[in-house]
């Protein structure tokens, strides 16, 4: 492997370490918000959960959906709580009490140190509701909707900068699904009106809900053809699972993710060429994760509960390893992927789990996400990797080792994220880092597990945690380390400093 500071991919947009909180299951109610909890603050938000979110340094949180947003009246969630309606929520067949809405969430996100990636409803609603929401959130004052926000207790505008133009509008499951042509037109007109209210915002249009959608690629091309001028980013969504218990094939799925990114970028550039545009459409991988454990149990849930336990994945060690590999993929595509959201943040397909009335803990996937968010800021470098390869059911020539490298030029740190997918043997890492000069290993974190199916639970929250016992060392310009079998490795180096004079 070779890593050189000159082989730059791109400066990483920190928003690729974003996450997502939907009004779904116990993500909001019973997740971040639980007024009766002993650790709830005066606003009803759990401070223990907030602490875990802060620990992750989440830069941006997508909100309030997801499928939820396609049936949502945002006006239901603002103003005096006692007047807010209880709504039949069709996306997840729940009852939505509207106790948390735009304003409460904005305040929570500020406390969490995160921006809000706001979404408008293009399922049951259109241009007018969208522009009104932008005015309500971002306009300073002196108009109907901005003055109403002030009247609701929020004098300062929220200043949301990035907005989703609906969610997964190609999906037959979506409330108010659209054809590509219908959506392209609606996205263009809604986007134009929203930018009319606040020209500083950036807009994400919906790409396909996943790569296997029957309208994939055509959808992207049609939507961009109709809305190119109003769109800054196109979305990608992907969830992987190991329901057939074929772990090598499961861990190989980052090749699918990589191909997905390249293909969508190609569609964007095809439309760019056709339009002779100077603008390049960025990618927003605004839903990604592992999701399969809870799908069957969720089918047995009674409809119309409030905050039912939905999508509550108990993540295993191997899930965490794949999540790590997906993060590596995002970092390596930092030149095109400017936004990405681990879906989601609390309870529903989430790194953080809570018990209602009880504790909160870190799932296995919490750790690779934490590492990437903390150490993955700076410049993504292109590592030249020679790894043995394997074939799996769906993939050929899968490298056992995947890696990404991030150089923080200001802090003079270099971080390598390296995963070994080999379940049978450890792997020696040898990496030429002469281009960096005098960098020393300051730590080599390892996440590994005897049992690939091990999970963290309320009772055993530390079954799978990283340790700092990796053996990485810089041997005169060659970084050497042992990559344990099925392991996630974070190797941090820093320029050796001359001792400063007292």
The site for a second copy (CB under 8 A) is made up of: 71, 85-88, 90, 93, 95, 123-128, 131, 135, 139, 142-147, 172, 175-177, 179, 182, 185, 188-189, 192-193, 196-197, 229, 304
Question: Alpha-carbon distance 192 to 200, whole Å?
Answer: 12
Q: What are phi and psi of 135, to 5 degrees?
A: -65, -45
Extended strands (E) in 224-362: 233-240, 282-290, 337-343, 352-354, 360-362
Q: Which residues contact 292 (CB under 8 A, 6 or more apart)?
A: 239, 240, 241, 242, 243, 313
Burial (CB < 10 A; 0-12, 13-18, 19+), residue 269, is middle
- Alpha helix (H) ranges present in 125-275? 127-138, 144-151, 180-197, 218-227, 247-251, 254-275
SS3 8: strand
Active-site pick, 168, 220, 312, 313: 168
User: 465-468 — which CB contacts under 8 Å span 24+ positions?
Assistant: 465/362, 465/367, 466/367, 466/371, 466/490, 468/443, 468/444
Compute the least distance from the CB of residue 272 to a second copy, in Å: 18
Whichever of 175 and 429 has its CB closer to a second copy, that residue is 175
Q: If you search the block for the tokens 């681990």, which residue do you land on? A: 342
Compute the least distance from the CB of residue 297 to a second copy, in Å: 20
Say whether 355 is catalytic.
Answer: no
Compute the least distance from the CB of residue 90 to a second copy, in Å: 4
Compute the least distance from the CB of residue 126 to a second copy, in Å: 8
Compute the least distance from the CB of residue 152 to a second copy, in Å: 16
Compute the least distance from the CB of residue 188 to a second copy, in Å: 8
- Alpha helix (H) ranges present in 209-253? 218-227, 247-251
Whichever of 124 and 249 has its CB closer to a second copy, that residue is 124
Length of the chain: 502
Compute the least distance from the CB of residue 196 to a second copy, in Å: 4
Q: Which helix (H) or strand (E) holds 447?
A: strand 439-447
Compute the least distance from the CB of residue 495 to a second copy, in Å: 48
Whichever of 172 and 245 has its CB closer to a second copy, that residue is 172
Whichever of 228 and 288 has its CB closer to a second copy, that residue is 228
Active-site pick, 287, 312, 318, 448: 287
Q: Which residues of 221-252 are buried (b: 16+ CB within 10 A; e: fewer)?
A: bbbbbbbbebbbbbbbbbbbebeeeebbbbbb
Say whether 151 is catalytic.
Answer: no
Question: How open is the CA angle 499-501-502, to the nearest 5 degrees?
Answer: 120
Whichever of 86 and 460 has its CB closer to a second copy, that residue is 86
Whichever of 126 and 248 has its CB closer to a second copy, that residue is 126
Crossing angle for the helix pair 144-151 and 127-138, nearest 10 degrees?
50
The side-by-side arrangement of strands in the sheet containing 401-408 is 8-11, 379-381, 401-408, 413-420, 487-495, 439-447
Dihedral sign of CA atoms 154, 157, 163, 165 in order = positive
Whichever of 212 and 304 has its CB closer to a second copy, that residue is 304
Whichever of 126 and 461 has its CB closer to a second copy, that residue is 126
Question: Alpha-carbon distance 48 to 332, whole Å?
Answer: 33
Q: Active-site residue numbers?
A: 168, 287
């Amino acid at each position: 492997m070779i890593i050189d500071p000159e082989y730059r991919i791109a400066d990483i947009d920190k928003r690729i370490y974003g996450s997502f909180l939907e009004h779904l299951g116990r993500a909001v109610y019973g997740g971040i918000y639980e007024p009766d909890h002993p650790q709830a603050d005066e606003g009803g938000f759990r401070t223990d959960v907030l602490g875990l979110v802060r620990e992750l340094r989440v830069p941006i949180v997508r909100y309030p959906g997801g499928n939820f947003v396609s049936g949502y009246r945002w006006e239901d969630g603002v103003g005096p709580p006692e007047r807010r309606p209880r709504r039949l929520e069709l996306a997840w067949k729940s009852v939505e009490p509207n106790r948390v809405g735009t304003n409460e969430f904005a305040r929570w996100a500020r406390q969490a140190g995160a921006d809000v990636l706001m979404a408008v409803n293009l399922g049951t609603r259109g241009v007018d509701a969208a522009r009104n929401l932008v005015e309500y959130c971002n306009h300073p004052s002196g108009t109907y909707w901005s003055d109403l926000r002030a009247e609701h207790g929020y004098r300062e505008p929220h200043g949301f900068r990035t907005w989703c133009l609906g969610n997964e509008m190609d999906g037959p499951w979506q409330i108010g699904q659209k054809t590509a042509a219908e959506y392209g037109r609606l996205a263009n007109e809604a986007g134009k009106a929203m930018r009319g209210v606040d020209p500083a915002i950036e807009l994400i249009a919906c790409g396909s809900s996943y790569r296997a959608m029957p309208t994939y690629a055509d959808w992207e091309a049609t939507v961009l053809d109709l809305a190119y001028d109003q769109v800054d980013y196109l979305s990608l969504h992907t969830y992987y699972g190991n329901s057939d218990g074929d772990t090598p094939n499961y861990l190989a799925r980052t090749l699918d993710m990589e191909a997905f990114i390249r293909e969508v970028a190609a569609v964007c550039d095809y439309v760019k060429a056709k339009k002779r545009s100077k603008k390049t459409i960025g990618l927003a991988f605004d839903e990604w994760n592992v999701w399969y454990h809870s799908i069957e149990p969720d089918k047995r849930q009674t409809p119309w509960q409030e905050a039912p336990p939905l999508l509550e994945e108990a993540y295993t060690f191997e899930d965490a390893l794949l999540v790590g590999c997906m993060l590596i993929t995002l970092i390596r595509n930092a030149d095109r992927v400017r936004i990405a959201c681990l879906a989601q943040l609390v309870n529903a397909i989430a790194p953080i789990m809570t018990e209602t009335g009880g504790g909160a803990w870190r799932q296995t996937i919490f750790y690779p996400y934490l590492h990437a968010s903390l150490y993955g800021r700076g410049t993504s470098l292109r590592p030249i990797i020679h790894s043995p390869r394997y074939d799996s059911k769906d993939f050929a020539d899968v490298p056992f080792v995947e890696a990404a490298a991030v150089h923080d030029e200001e802090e003079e740190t270099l971080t390598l994220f390296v995963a070994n997918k080999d379940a049978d043997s450890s792997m020696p890492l040898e990496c030429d880092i002469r281009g960096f000069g005098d960098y020393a290993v300051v730590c080599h974190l390892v996440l590994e597990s005897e049992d690939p199916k091990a999970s963290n639970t309320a009772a055993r929250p530390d079954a799978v945690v990283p340790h700092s016992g990796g053996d990485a060392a810089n041997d005169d310009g060659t970084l050497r380390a042992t990559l344990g079998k099925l392991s996630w490795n974070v190797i941090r180096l820093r320029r050796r400093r001359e001792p400063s004079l007292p």
